[in-house]
Structures are given as structure tokens and as C-alpha cells.
């Protein structure tokens, strides 16, 4: 195990397998050398991934069961070359992550975080009403990546009276939302730009200064995908100089280190990567990790291959 998963599922793994908790080892490299020939499966997480170097160091590795839907910190190409199966945990975290996306939209537009501070600090009594926020009905949301989470966000947005359109590698069959082949065109047509696409070489810094300029002075960027999809320096510049109205961010380029410039801004709402962070969802994710491992070693099958 590269990192921790919820206790109940970790204990379930203990009953089936002999577990080495690498993140707890005093000398992880020494521990790896001791057990490298015994390892047939790895549990990885969003915070503790699996490099090509590690895959190469484990000669009998057969499966990597990843605790998370995004697997950008697992070297899938190296695994494929070695014939190592990689699984992830899709679907079970869709709703909670979509909820956080809409929560960030509400927080930015209705100034919910500012309002909480305004009350707690006594400013309401001293200064009177908080400056007004902005309504959601009639706004336009452009979703970058209309996969499971993107579609779940779209349904929630429509319930708020928000018009939805999207951008992706290609138009999706059976989807009625307007499609924009160009990302800048989507941004220009949107009040809210919602990022829900996977992170890979093609989406690195996909949201750059040009896209932010197209989003415009009344536009809001929401990112619940991966931090490196957004050029963080360009975003800070856009927020500081009024190029965009605001942002809601659950993810960052170099987590858990968040630029102090972002922390100083009052037109951005920051969250510590909590998209799937509910007890129910994390338990379901961990159970899928366990079930993939059990099924693989019992029947050479998996439930959710990458």
C-alpha cells in the first residue's frame, strides 16, 4: 500500500493479503528492496502514486488498484508495457464531486465564504449589509469534459436555471447540450467555465491566459478536476487584474502547496481537494479497490480497468 485508505477496507485487505504499508516505513527504499520479489499487487492513491521506476522495481507485480478516479500519478504506459493491470474507482464519486462543483459556483456568485467571515468578524453589525452577490438563473455554464462528472454537474446546473454547453475532443452522441469545438469559443459564450476533464499531456495548462481572457471580466472559473489543467500563474494574473470575475478551486498545481497570491485574493474560493471527501464515497471507493484486488486474484478479472 502506497498510502492509507479508510480503515474498514484496509482491515478487509489485511484478512485477504499480506500488506506492506510503504508510507509508514522508516526507510521506504530499504523496505522495497526487502519485499520487492513478494509484491504482486499495489494500492495507490491520489497522493501516493506509482512511477515507472517503481513498476520496474517490482518484478512480480500484476495489478495496481488505484484509490481514485483520476490516475495521472500512475504510470499507466509503463504498467501496460509490463502487462500490469491498472484499475481505478469511477462512478462512486461522481455525485459528491459534482456537488462540490456546484457548491463552488454558489460560493463565488453568492459570496458565501465572505458572508461567513463578515458575520463572524462583527463587520455586519459595524458596516451593515454585505455587498451583493450575483444570481445564477439565466447564467451560461461551459463544461470542459462532459464525462460522468461533467454530466452530473450539468444536471445540477440546469436545476438552478443555468444554460449548459460543453467542449471536448469530439461531440458526444445523444447529448443535447450545445457543443463548442473550440475552447476559447466555449469560454467566450460562458459565464461559468467548469473544468471536469481528465488530466493528461493534452490537457496540461489547457486553461491558459487566452482562454481566461475569452471568459471575460464577468466570468468565473471552477476547477474540480486536476490543478495542472489550469495555468496557475495565468489564473492568478487574471484574478488580480480583473480579467475574470472570480474562481472556485478544489485542486491546485502543486498540492498541498497553494500559492500565497491565491490565498490573498478575495475573489477566489479555495478548497483542499475535497471533491470526493465524504465518508460514504471514500468507503465506496475503498471497497472498489478491495473488490478489484479480490476478483483479480480469484478469477483474473477486474471490475473497473483503466
Which is the catalytic residue, given 66, 111, 156, 273?
273
Residue located via cell numbers 484478512? 15
Peptide bond preceding 256 in cis form (omega within 30 of 0): yes
Alpha-helix runs per DSSP H in the chain: 7-16, 28-35, 52-57, 76-82, 94-109, 112-120, 123-127, 148-159, 183-188, 209-215, 232-240, 260-264, 279-299
Residue of 226, 232, 282, 294 with catalytic role:
226
Catalytic residue among 62, 163, 184, 255, which? 255
Residue 66 is a catalytic residue: no
Catalytic residue check, 226 = yes
The values of phi and psi at residue 215, to 5°, are -60, -40
C-alpha cell at 243: 480579467
The three-class DSSP label of residue 296 is helix
Which is nearest to 188 in space by CA: 210, 203, 168? Answer: 210
Known catalytic residue at 255? yes
Contact (CB, 8 A) for 288 and 14: no
Name which of 61, 58, 97 is nearest 251 in CA terms.
Answer: 97
Q: Which residue matches cell numbers 467571515? A: 117
CB-CB contact of 117 with 139 (8 Å)? no
Rounded to whole angstroms, the Cα distance separating 298 from 109 reads 51
10 Å CB burial of residue 176 (0-12, 13-18, 19+) is exposed
- Residue 112 main-chain phi, psi, to 5 deg: -65, -40
- Catalytic annotation, residues: 226, 255, 273
Amino acid at each position: 500500500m502506497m498510502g492509507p485508505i479508510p480503515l474498514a477496507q484496509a482491515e478487509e485487505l489485511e484478512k485477504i493479503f499480506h500488506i506492506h504499508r510503504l508510507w509508514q516505513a522508516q526507510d521506504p527504499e530499504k523496505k522495497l528492496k526487502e519485499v520487492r520479489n513478494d509484491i504482486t499487487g499495489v494500492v495507490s492513491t491520489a497522493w501516493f502514486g506509482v512511477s515507472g521506476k517503481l513498476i520496474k522495481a517490482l518484478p512480480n507485480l500484476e495489478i495496481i488498484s488505484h484509490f481514485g478516479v483520476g490516475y495521472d500519478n500512475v504510470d499507466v504506459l509503463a504498467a501496460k508495457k509490463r502487462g500490469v493491470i491498472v484499475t481505478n474507482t469511477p462512478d462512486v464519486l461522481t455525485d459528491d464531486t459534482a456537488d462540490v462543483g456546484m457548491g463552488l459556483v454558489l460560493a463565488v456568485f453568492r459570496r458565501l465564504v465572505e458572508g461567513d467571515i463578515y458575520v463572524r468578524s462583527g463587520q455586519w453589525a459595524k458596516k451593515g449589509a454585505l455587498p451583493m452577490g450575483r444570481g445564477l438563473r439565466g447564467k451560461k455554464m461551459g463544461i470542459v469534459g462532459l464525462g460522468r462528472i461533467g454530466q452530473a454537474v450539468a444536471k445540477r446546473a440546469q436545476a438552478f436555471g443555468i444554460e449548459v454547453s460543453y467542449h471536448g475532443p469530439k461531440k458526444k452522441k445523444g447529448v443535447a447540450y450545445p457543443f463548442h469545438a473550440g475552447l476559447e469559443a466555449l469560454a467566450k459564450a460562458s459565464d461559468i467555465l467548469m473544468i471536469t476533464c481528465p488530466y493528461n499531456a493534452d490537457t496540461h495548462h489547457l486553461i491558459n491566459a487566452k482562454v481566461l481572457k475569452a471568459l471575460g471580466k464577468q466570468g468565473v472559473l471552477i476547477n474540480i478536476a486536476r490543478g495542472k489543467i489550469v495555468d496557475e500563474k495565468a489564473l492568478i494574473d487574471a484574478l488580480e487584474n480583473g480579467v475574470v470575475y472570480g474562481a472556485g478551486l478544489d485542486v491546485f498545481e502543486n498540492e498541498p502547496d497553494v500559492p500565497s497570491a491565491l490565498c490573498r485574493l478575495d475573489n477566489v474560493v479555495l478548497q483542499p481537494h475535497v471533491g470526493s471527501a465524504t465518508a460514504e464515497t471514500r468507503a465506496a471507493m475503498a471497497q472498489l479497490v478491495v473488490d478489484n484486488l479480490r476478483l483479480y486474484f480469484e478469477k483474473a478479472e477486474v471490475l473497473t480497468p483503466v
